Structure formats: C-alpha cells, structure tokens
Amino acid sequence: GQSLEQPSEVTAVEGAIVQINCTYQTSGFYGLSWYQQHDGGAPTFLSYNGLDGLEETGRFSSFLSRSDSYGYLLLQELQMKDSASYFCAPRRGDRDDKIIFGKGTRLHILP
C-alpha cells in the first residue's frame, strides 16, 4: 500500500518563495517525483529525486530525505502562472513503475 501527505492548499504572494512538503509511506521506494497540473490540463513532470539531497531546476528545487520518508518542492520567485496543483509521487521501481497520485497541494498565488 501507499500513503501520502501533502497540505491541501497553500497560498503565497507573487515573487515570494513557497515550500510544499510531502511525507510518504510506500513499499519498495525508489525515488520521488513531482508533477504540476493546471486546471483542465494534464500533469507535467517537474522534478525527480532518486538520491537524498537537493535537485535544482531553474526556479524549482526538490529535496528528498529517505531516512525521514520526506521530501519537498521549493518554488522561488513565484509567478501567477505557478497557480496550480502540485503532486508528489513516490516511485516504487517495480515492473510497471506506475504512479499513484495523492490528493496534491493546491497553490494559490496572490498579486
């Protein structure tokens, strides 16, 4: 089985920094992915942590601590277009490598 915990909603101001936390419980953990989804759109891949530590991709960074079963997504220099839902998704590395999405975090950006 799998369980994920993320805040349901986060609000931040344009230009600020926001951190979205994720704690997980899953069997056969291989790494943690992050996806973004705008209303009416499909999820898009943001970042993947296969190892502990910080991965940086432009304004977005993601962190993983396997010992704590914890990760976070850090968004810097927030823009209005960052208003979306964000999902952390553990990878189990099994044959199908399927993604089971949690409820996600709805990020609201205020001007």
Interaction site with other proteins (CB under 8 A): 30-31, 33, 37, 40-45, 48, 50, 85, 87, 91, 93, 96-104
Q: Which is nearer to other proteins, 61 or 85 (CB)?
A: 85
Half-sphere exposure of 75 (CA within 13 A, CB side): 27
Compute the least distance from the CB of residue 4 to other proteins, in Å.
10
- Beta carbon nearer to other proteins, 53 or 93: 93
Nearer to other proteins, 58 or 111 (CB): 58
- On whether the CB atoms of residues 101 and 87 are closer than 8 A, the answer is yes
Cα–Cα dist 55/74, whole Å? 10
Nearest approach in angstroms of CB 43 to other proteins is 5
* Dihedral pair phi/psi, residue 82, rounded to 5°: -80, -5
CA nearest neighbour of 111 among 8, 11, 40, 7: 11
CB of 87 to other proteins, least distance (A): 7
